[in-house]
């Protein structure tokens, strides 16, 4: 069992979660790296999942109108075939795309909590997936808007989301890259990536709530009050990062994040090789 988390740690880790959840740089990887490098311990998979509820609330609030519109259209389309337009289809795409990560997340939850949090793995995945994002940015046609999204897009982006179960990959990085490979516009790929995150991240956070107060596995143990404060911080910074990212990708490529991931991954590898930090 790990040590008790301090308030400074809870505030910093909540901020890290909020700033990194929606950027294609891996929030779980960042939480693991920051907690190990600065605090000499792991924030823990439960803290990671529960603080995600703050960023999840941010995406729910940011896309609330879209969500209500899609849900209404989905139910209307079920009852009336003439109303099966874009929002009805988007509802189905999100449902279909969520099934794979739901099944794998449940089956491999113990491995995700332990072995998959090794810093060598995280640093490697930061670099490897940086290359994947760079290739997607380079070869993607970026011609199709969100109105042209298909069932095939939903299935492939849903399958890609499963890669996010490996810390260091990045949920938004995996799904956005898949969208770019399928020829979606950068902004369309990012927007659909956000919609896809809603059910998966909500389920992950709620599923881990009991463990957060009676932690399973190693890592720092946060109190209920610390979890609440960290989650509120993650919410505020998460909301700001969504707004920023949607504006950024409209005018800039993902290469900026590729460079950052490679520098961070190489830096962590250097610290590990020098014995400055522990991999587990």
Q: What is the pLDDT of residues 221-244, one digit of tens each?
A: 888 899 899 999 999 999 999 999
Cα distance between residue 233 and residue 210, in whole Å: 21
Cα distance between residue 77 and residue 22, in whole Å: 30
CB atoms within 10 A of CB 277: 14
| Tokens at 36, concatenated | 């190990």
What percent of the residues of the chain are helix, what percent strand, and what percent coil, each to the nearest 5?
A: 80, 0, 20
The model carries a pTM of: 0.90
Q: What is the pLDDT of residues 65-124, one digit of tens each?
A: 999 999 999 999 999 999 999 999 999 999 999 998 888 877 877 666 565 678 999 999
Cα distance between residue 203 and residue 53, in whole Å: 9
For 41, 45, 93, 118, 219, the CA distances from 279, given in Å and listed in that order, are 10, 15, 38, 5, 13
Cα distance between residue 257 and residue 253, in whole Å: 9
Identify whether the C-beta of residue 55 lies closer than 8 Å to the C-beta of residue 21: yes
Percent residues over pLDDT 70 in the chain: 93
């Amino acid at each position: 069992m790990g040590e008790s988390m301090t308030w400074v740690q809870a505030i910093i880790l909540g901020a890290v979660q909020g700033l990194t959840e929606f950027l294609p740089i891996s929030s779980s990887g960042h939480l693991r790296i920051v907690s190990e490098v600065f605090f000499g311990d792991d924030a823990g998979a439960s803290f990671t999942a529960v603080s995600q509820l703050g960023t999840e609330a941010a995406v729910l609030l940011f896309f609330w109108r879209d969500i209500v519109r899609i849900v209404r259209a989905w139910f209307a389309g079920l009852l009336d075939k003439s109303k099966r337009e874009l929002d009805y289809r988007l509802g189905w795409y999100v449902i279909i795309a969520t099934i794979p990560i739901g099944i794998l997340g449940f089956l491999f939850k113990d491995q995700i909590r332990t072995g998959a949090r090794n810093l060598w793995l995280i640093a490697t995945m930061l670099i490897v997936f940086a290359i994947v994002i760079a290739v997607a940015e380079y070869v993607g046609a970026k011609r199709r808007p969100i109105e042209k999204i298909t069932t095939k897009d939903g299935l492939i982006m849903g399958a890609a989301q499963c890669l996010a179960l490996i810390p260091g990959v990045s949920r938004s990085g995996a799904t956005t890259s898949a969208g770019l490979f399928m020829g979606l516009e950068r902004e369309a790929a990012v927007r659909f990536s956000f919609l896809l995150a809603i059910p998966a991240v909500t389920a992950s956070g709620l599923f881990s709530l009991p463990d957060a107060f009676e932690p399973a596995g190693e890592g720092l143990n946060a109190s209920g009050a610390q979890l609440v404060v960290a989650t509120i911080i993650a919410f505020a910074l998460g909301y700001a990062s969504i707004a920023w990212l949607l504006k950024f990708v409209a005018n800039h490529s993902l290469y900026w994040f590729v460079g950052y991931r490679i520098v961070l991954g190489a830096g962590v590898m250097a610290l590990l090789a020098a014995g400055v930090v522990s991999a587990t």
